Amino acid sequence: MRSVGSTLADFEQDLISNLYYQRGTTLESASGSDGYQTLALTVRDRLVERYARTAAAHYEANPRFVYYLSAEYLLGRQLGQNLLYTDTERFVRPIAADLGVTLEDLESYDVEPGLGNGGLGRLAACLMDSMATLDIPAVGYGIRYEFGIFKQAFRDGAQVERPDDWTFYGNPWEFPAPDDRQVVGFYGTTAAALDDPTGLRRQWTPGEVVRGEPSHMLVPGYGTQTVNIIRLWQARASRQSFDLSRFGAGQYKEAVEDIVRAENISKVLYPDDSTEQGRELRLKQQYFLVACSLRDIIRRYRLRNTGWDAFPAKVVIQLNDTHPVMAVTELMRLLVDEYKLDWDLAWSITRRTFNYTCHTLLPEALETWPVAVVERLLPRHMEIIYAINHFFLQEVEATYPGDLDRLRRLSIIQEEPDKRVRMAHLAVVGSTAVNGVAELHTRLLAATTLRDFAELWPQKFHNVTNGVTPRRFVRLANPRLSELITERLGDESWLTDLDRLEGLAGVADDPAFLERWRAVKRANKVDLAAHVERSTGVVIDPDALCDVMIKRFHEYKRQHLKLLHVIMLFNRLREHPDLDVVPRTVLFGGKAAPGYHSMKLLLRLVNAVAETVNTDPVVSRRLKVVLPPDYNVTRAQWIIPAADLSEQISLAGKEASGTGNMKLALNGALTIGTLDGANIEIRDRVGADNFFLFGLDAQEAADLRRDYHPRAYYESDPDLRAAIDTIAAGTFAKGDRSLFAPVVDSMLGRDEYLALADYRAYLECQERVEHAWRDQEAWARMSVLNSARSGFFSSDRTVREYCDRIWRVEPVRVA
């Protein structure tokens, strides 16, 4: 095996050689992009070598592998991470300085892979990081979307979606592996298999065939030699699809029709599902992902094993939410139809192989597919689903004889109002373990959304509270804080043993330490101010309280509750220009789904409020509102280290976990939040005195929702009424009362997520925040304690729990 050298001179030599042989240019004529690409390749070389050793160690040990199936991976930029993990940043700084560039210049060319969307995708990335760090043999499977979700821009304050052409300059972190391509079928017909008297085995003749072409990205562990991979599938037409004769006849569009249809499968993440075609495309994507991945998993299994008995002992597949759940049916199809296993054996293998993580409580987020659509696209899979359901319902009938209502509730097929396949039910039936992502979430899953299943199989349900990687979200995002922590704790071992942060609690009363802690936060706020000014033109005060709400825009997360608070402050300052209020910068970040009109209107309102507030000569001295466009991982890494206050104000019982809440607490932000998701566990750990709690709890919210009248709150609370009336009066729309009327109507008419009910409590809690902020030393102490006591929220702990309780996998050390 070729090896790369480990000295500065070796690194420099490799840079020159990569610039010359890989980029085909020289120092004199290289562009900035050449510089970045060359650096990326040189760092990558160091990872490749570790990857080769990892693959060899895995081949030798033949261990049980974790296969993580996920529609998204929200990876963030790769360069900084890989410099850290290969310990080569120390080489790059002096070399770059010699050449008159900075590392930050080079990093600006590093494009975030467009492979993810929100919390679920970022969790997948954090778990992959921790698996590699803990030497767990693992492969992540996903789709190589040609365009990611979308790039967010604002025109007149309204969100416009632009394609995210993330691979335009090439992706230096990715390796194509065309030899491992797979073929996947869709549509077509099924027929009885002649050799099967039971009728359970059948033959599927697809009507359309596409190729899945794999490439992989390397996922290094920190402080270890392990490098795992994420394998990504891109859809391509089969070779015969180009119609040469039509092309020759001048029918250019028709000649490439099949190619376009095939390639559309991996075009974008979450294609708009408001049309029939859009919905079918989503299902097609999902099946494409699982069909390619399962074939690859079986190929890998057969490299080292024979027979099927050992399959579950070597293969554990984690289904990240319902998107990859068709894998249950596909494995059954492969085992029964193609490998000719008997149904019961195939089912026992399948059930022992899969586990399912649920990431939501919103019933509308649990996917269901119309039976008619599944029947057309995947006719054989529909038959298999019926068969699985048939045997499953027999099991239920044996446990609860005569309980027809329960059968209906548990069935994989929903009958009313239309026939649909319930993917979450298929997942639970086909898995060994089902887990929620925070304690409350798991409890509510078992008590509400999946209640009948939890009664039937209580032992199947587990909680594994989410976590985040401290490498990216502390060490890389917040180098100043990391340095201070390392100095205090004596070494960097906290990066892989995050409970060691507890050691900071001992200096939470030391004024000299608190002074340095505050200096770090201030410097981070100065940096953030520069980023904000560049992206929005708004100048913010680094000494103001930095109040952040960064997450996808969704009604249940209640960005509008935050906005009502902002408007109340605006009204107050306008009425009493000399009022002594704490100066604040309120920073929002997040995208709304392209078809989610109410939230897009709310984004527009946030921008309109920002415009009004920031240009008001009196108000803007104490209050600023900013919404930098295109919130993503890179921007999160700028914002989180500068935050003083973390807004986690979802309606209790709706946010499954949240992970931004963990990143912010780790970086010393104090949380203002409801008793929802992982907020509860954060508060339990950091202490009630160091957390701003308000609002209804999940039980109270559920009770109130049954008979809720938002207008009563509006009528009885003058501040609330004033805030809503300010919107209604067109204050933020140059007098136009119609533009934001739907926001007002929805708050007063329905207020689905009880923002008005929590308004007063939220306001009072914000007053406690202001009061606390006025004692800067006490605030700093609380900030230190938040970091010190958040070690539990490392994704290393999360992965350890999955390993011990669900996966039962062992690490394999790489020499």
> Segment near ligand NTF (CB under 6 A), from 194-202, 346-354, 649-657, 760-768?
649-657
Contact 52, 228 (CB under 8 A): no
242 near 232, Cβ under 8 Å?
no
Q: In angstroms, how far is the first alpha carbon of the chain from the final one?
A: 14
Near ligand NTF by CB under 6 A, which window of 118-126, 151-159, 247-255, 405-413? 118-126
| The one among 123, 446, 609, 763 contacting ligand NTF by CB under 6 A | 123
CB of 145 to ligand NTF, least distance (A): 16
> Does 525 participate in catalysis according to the annotation?
no
Distance CA 539, CA 270 (A): 35
By CB under 6 A, residue 584 contacts ligand NTF: no
Distance CA(398)–CA(392), nearest Å, equals 10
Cα-flanking dihedrals φ and ψ of residue 433, to 5°? -125, 145
Q: Which is nearer to ligand NTF, 14 or 129 (CB)?
A: 129
Are 745 and 728 in contact by the 8 Å Cβ rule? The answer is no
Kindly state whether residue 120 participates in binding ligand NTF, applying the rule CB under 6 A.
yes
Options 44, 295, 333, 359, the catalytic residue: 359
Cα–Cα distance between 639 and 478 in angstroms, integer? 10
Residue 16 binds ligand NTF (CB under 6 A): no
The b/e string for 122-135 (b: 16+ C-beta within 10 A; e otherwise) is bbbbbbbbbbbbbb
**Pick 118 or 140: Cβ nearer ligand NTF:** 118
Query: Which stretch in 77-85, 401-409, 650-658, 686-694 sits in contact with ligand NTF by CB under 6 A?
Result: 650-658
Tell me, yes or no, if 151 is annotated catalytic: no
Contact region for ligand NTF (CB under 6 A) — 276-284, 358-366, 419-427, 791-799? 358-366
CB of 588 to ligand NTF, least distance (A): 17
With tokens 């019982």, the residue in question is: 653
Interface with ligand NTF, residue 119, by CB under 6 A: yes
Tell me 79's DSSP state. Answer: H
- Determine whether 734 is an active site residue: no
Q: Is 431 in the site for ligand NTF (CB under 6 A)?
A: no
551 is catalytic: yes
Task: Identify the CA nearest to 332 among candidates 311, 356, 349, 312.
Answer: 349
Residue 655 or residue 796: which is nearer to ligand NTF going by CB? Answer: 655
449 in contact with ligand NTF (CB under 6 A): no
Report the nearest approach of ligand NTF to the CB of residue 360 (Å): 4
656 binds ligand NTF (CB under 6 A): yes
CB-wise, 85 or 145, nearer to ligand NTF?
A: 145
Structure tokens that stand for 455 in this block: 């009664």
**What are the DSSP E strand ranges found in 173-288?**
174-176, 182-186, 189-192, 202-205, 208-220, 227-237
Residue 609 to residue 615: CA distance in whole angstroms:
10
| Nearest-approach distance from CB 316 to ligand NTF, in angstroms | 19
Question: Among 466, 482, 614, 671, which residue interacts with ligand NTF (rule: CB under 6 A)?
Answer: 466
Query: CA 681, 645, 487 angle in degrees (round to 5)?
Result: 80
List b or e across 84-102, with b for residues whose CB sees 16 or more CB atoms inside 10 angstroms: bbbebeebbeeebeeeeee
| Catalytic one of 226, 360, 465, 659 | 659
| Range list of H helices, 64-138 | 79-85, 89-99, 103-107, 119-133
| Contact indicator for 732, 605 with CB cutoff of 8 Å | yes
CB-CB neighbours of 376 under 10 Å: 16
The smaller minimum CB distance to ligand NTF, of residues 212 and 589, is found at 589
Contacts to ligand NTF from residues 42-81, by CB under 6 A: none
Q: Which is nearer to ligand NTF, 349 or 649 (CB)?
A: 649
CB of 141 to ligand NTF, least distance (A): 17
Q: Which of 359, 488, 584, 600 binds ligand NTF (CB under 6 A)?
A: 359
In the beta sheet, which residues pair with residue 237?
210
Given 365, 484, 523, 744, the residue binding ligand NTF (CB under 6 A): 365
Catalytic residue (one of 475, 551, 554, 789): 551
Q: Which two tokens stand for residue 610?
A: 């920002």
If binding is defined by CB under 6 A, does position 590 make contact with ligand NTF? no
Among the listed residues 490, 449, 495, 451, the one whose alpha carbon sits nearest the alpha carbon of residue 472: 495
- What is the x/- site pattern for ligand NTF, positions 299-338, by CB under 6 A? ----------------------x-----------------
Provide the minimum distance between the beta carbon of 487 and ligand NTF in the complex, in angstroms, as a whole number.
Answer: 32
User: Can 663 be counted among the known catalytic residues?
Assistant: yes
Give ∠ CA 486-489-493 in degrees, rounded to 5.
Answer: 70
- Of 144, 472, 525, 557, the catalytic one is 557
439: contact with ligand NTF by CB under 6 A? no
Options 324, 677, 710, 791; binder of ligand NTF; rule CB under 6 A: 677
390 is catalytic: no
CA 651 to chain centre: 20
Among 76, 116, 118, 379, binds ligand NTF (CB under 6 A): 118
Cβ atoms within 10 Å, residue 518: 17
Q: Does 659 bind ligand NTF (CB under 6 A)?
A: yes
655 binds ligand NTF (CB under 6 A): yes
Q: How far is the CB of 282 from ligand NTF (least distance, A)?
A: 13
Q: How far is the CB of 562 from ligand NTF (least distance, A)?
A: 17
Position 405, amino acid? D
Q: Point out the residue whose Cβ comes nearest to ligand NTF.
A: 119
Burial annotation 232-259 (CB, 10 A radius, 16+ → b, else e): bbbbbbeeebebeeeeeeeeeeebbebb
Contact 193, 203 (CB under 8 A): yes
CB of 657 to ligand NTF, least distance (A): 4
From the CB of 66, what's the least distance to ligand NTF, in Å? Answer: 17
Written as six digits, the tokens of 756 are: 């008005």
Q: Is the peptide bond between 94 and the residue preceding it cis, with omega within 30 degrees of 0?
A: no
Q: Which is nearer to ligand NTF, 76 or 677 (CB)?
A: 677
> Is the Cβ–Cβ distance between 546 and 643 less than 8 Å?
yes
Site string for ligand NTF, 131-170 (x = CB under 6 A): ----------------------------------------
658 binds ligand NTF (CB under 6 A): yes
Q: Which is nearer to ligand NTF, 125 or 780 (CB)?
A: 125
The catalytically annotated residue of 211, 323, 333, 552 is 552
Within 8 A by CB and 6+ apart from 198, the residues are 343
CB of 607 to ligand NTF, least distance (A): 24
Contacts of ligand NTF in 477-536 (CB under 6 A): none
**Angle, nearest 10°, between helix axes 343-353 and 379-399?**
90
How far apart are the C-alpha atoms of 269 and 267, rounded to whole Å?
7
Give the interface segment with ligand NTF, choosing from 10-18, 114-122, 539-547, 681-689 (CB under 6 A). Answer: 114-122
Report if residue 214 touches ligand NTF, rule: CB under 6 A. Answer: no
Give the total of residues touching ligand NTF (CB under 6 A).
16
Q: Could you give the angle at which helices 511-536 and 776-788 cross, rounded to 10 degrees?
A: 90
Determine the angle formed by the axes of helices 559-575 and 755-773, rounding to 10 degrees.
Answer: 60
664 or 785: CB nearest ligand NTF: 664
Answer yes or no whether residue 682 interacts with ligand NTF by CB under 6 A: no
CA angle 180, 186, 188 (to 5 degrees): 135
437 binds ligand NTF (CB under 6 A): yes
Helix (H) or strand (E) holding 625: strand 623-626
Name the site residues for ligand NTF (rule: CB under 6 A).
Answer: 118-120, 123, 321, 359-360, 365, 437, 466, 655-659, 677
Supply the residues annotated as catalytic: 359, 551-552, 557, 659, 663
